[in-house]
Structure 1
């Protein structure tokens, strides 16, 4: 019914690659801070090795994941099958934010169709576990599964417009924690 895995092997990596979305959970240290769960889609996720995963973090209206990781590093990434075979996979670890450099360039290059990356989130995995997923409904994707909004939105804004947007929306979290710095936007 459930299992704990030593590493993300080829079989798990293939299963992860077939999932059209995943969820990211982070939280600040403050007891009254906002816990954040973000859905992620598009072709942005990479298994770098058996104990390291990463994804391209696109420009968005908030920067909770970035702020929480910079404060404390705690993260859980969850994949859930919505198809005929039920399964939930949780990947726990310590996350970090890369806004430039070799790791950023490598992960972004793995996903060339994405426009407007603001960061790459890298997770050093310390626990991988699955569970049954029997309570998750079966659902089917519509068409190709992507809404086709994110890329055109980023293209229309252009590089300078994305910088302005990130300056307005991504410098701090809901709780006032620092997220992106001005030299990273």
Structure 2
């Protein structure tokens, strides 16, 4: 059975920190729901109601567009090893970009990552655990390095041109404001 919490408990935080992968879901008021798997060392629990997620350059920038419109975000972790568990964090998010006030405070919490695009600051309104007994077992092998290698090869200037060419609007045409600072 599922159980709701108003905060991230120490047990929930320990579960989050043990996971190698998570999923981010956002949706515009009208348009496509975005659900994306995430990995790397890109998630931090700051306190019982605040988390950060470091986002790297990718083919889309849906989360930024959706949060500009309505701030709603759900993050899901599930146990692929050990005891079954599914955890959803429901909250409101906002984007922090490299030229924004506070960037240096939050970027210092993560390892240097090529292609870093923004950090999402998420206020957790509730958390939900559910059984996860139908989730199959998977064994973690290693992180993929292709995205980091691509970003390193492209370099900062080409990455910023990529943002301008590819990441300015969502797949539904909503603005992301990625290049406005």
Secondary structure, aligned partner of 1:95: strand
How far apart are 1:16 and its partner, in Å?
0.3
Mapped contact 1:95–1:122 kept (Cα < 8 A): yes
Give ranges in structure 2 of 5+ residues lacking alignment.
none
Aligned to 2:16: 16
How far apart are 1:106 and its partner, in Å?
2.6
Aligned to 1:104: 103
Per-residue Cα deviation, 1:149-183 (whole angstroms, up to 9, x for no partner):
12211111111011011111110001110013433
Aligned to 1:168: 165
Distance 2:134 2:152 in 1: 39
Per-residue Cα deviation, 1:50-78 (whole angstroms, up to 9, x for no partner):
10111111111101111000011111000
Give ranges in structure 1 of 5+ residues lacking alignment.
none
Secondary structure, aligned partner of 1:135: coil
Question: Number of matched residues?
Answer: 180
Secondary structure, aligned partner of 1:7: coil
Could you state the TM-score of these two structures normalised by the residue count of structure 2?
0.94
Match of 1:72 among 56, 70, 95: 70
Mapped contact 1:56–1:107 kept (Cα < 8 A): no
Aligned to 1:82: 80
Distance 1:183 1:29 in 2: 22
* CA RMSD, 1 decimal: 1.3
Could you state the TM-score of these two structures normalised by the residue count of structure 1?
0.92
Per-residue Cα deviation, 1:110-167 (whole angstroms, up to 9, x for no partner):
212312211111111111110000111011012xx20111221111111101101111
Distance 1:23 1:166 in 2: 22
Aligned to 1:114: 113
Mapped contact 2:41–2:111 kept (Cα < 8 A): no
Distance 2:33 2:17 in 1: 26
